[in-house]
Structure 1
Amino acid sequence: MYTCNNCDGFVTRDFVRVFGDSDDEVFGCPSCMNMREVMDGAAASRSNAVSE
């Protein structure tokens, strides 16, 4: 099962494939970022993770 490394929310394998980094990790998802941020690549960058 894949999860967001920022909020521990569930993400699909396809979401990780499309929006994740080369290590199959995501640092943001629709639960903790808006989709514009995700689509602009913020989900693949550890430095862009939103702290809660």
Structure 2
Amino acid sequence: MALQLPDADGDCRTCEFCDAHVTPEFRRSYGTADRRALRCPECDSWARIMRGSAAGKDVDHPDPQKHDGRNGGVELRGPKVTDGGLSR
């Protein structure tokens, strides 16, 4: 039988940076000690999250929100071309 761990406060179910939904498992694994996610995969790269950015640590890896061309930033997730690039 699995043990249900207590969850953080009900209003902490979203990323504090981009307001995207984050699971309790993500917050428990990568978030702060009180299980808040300061960044998430929608607004940050996994390379930074694995180094502690979701917990608020300063990370020496470029932030995709400040550096164009880095994967993972919200601004990089624009509309997709669905017509094969034929419209202009």
Q: Cα RMSD (Å) of the superposition?
A: 2.4
Equivalent residue, structure 1, for 2:28: 17
Question: What runs of 5+ residues in structure 2 fail to find an aligned partner?
Answer: 1-9, 60-64, 67-74, 76-88
CA drift at 1:18: 0.1
Determine which structure has the larger strand proportion and give its number.
1
TM-score (norm. length: structure 2): 0.51
Identity %: 35
**Relative to 1, partners in 2 of residues 1:47 and 1:41: Cα closer, same or farther, differing over 3 Å?**
closer
Report the structure number with the largest CA radius of gyration.
2
The structure, 1 or 2, with the larger RCO (C-alpha pairs under 8 Å, 6+ apart) is 1
Structure whose residues are more often helix by fraction:
1
Indicate which of 24, 35, 42 corresponds to 2:46.
Answer: 35
Paired residue total? 52
Change (3 A) 1:41 1:17: same
| Unmatched segments (≥5 aa) in structure 1 | none
List, as ranges, runs of 4+ consecutive aligned residues in structure 1 with deviation greater than 2 Å: none
Q: Conserved in 1, the CA contact under 8 Å of 2:52 and 2:58?
A: no
- Residue pair 1:20, 1:43 contacting (<8 A) in 2 also: yes
